Amino acid sequence: MPKQTLLFAALLIVLGLGAFLASGSQTALLPAYAGLALGILGGLALAFEGGRRHLMHVAAVVALLGALAPAAALGIRAAQMGPLALTVNIGMLALCGGLLALMVRSFVAMRRAA
């Protein structure tokens, strides 16, 4: 899972930086912050095999929070969002939710194998 986490982290960083360059708004960088946290956790998990399980569980929490934040924003004010904000929120929700689903599937598979 660390390699997949790094891939999703890179995609979130690209999403955040692209939105920032398009809008100039600091809040457009939120996906990049989540991506940075996931990238750090994924890199540490690759470096420290003994702590990989714990680091991936922390990354799953970050992915969960990264999915809940845009889901809440979309639920509260999707109608008032501009096209860029709507796209960024949906993109962050899809990326973080997808990563979380892959992580849960991996955790279940590891549990069954043990």
Confidence of residue 114 (pLDDT cuts 50, 70, 90): confident
CB neighbours of 37 closer than 8 A, spacing ≥ 6?
Answer: 9, 62
CB 56 within 8 A of CB 1: yes
pLDDT in tens, 36-54: 999 999 999 999 999 999 9
- Residue whose token pair is 């956790």: 41
Confidence (pTM): 0.93
Say if CB 71 and CB 93 are below 8 A apart.
Answer: yes
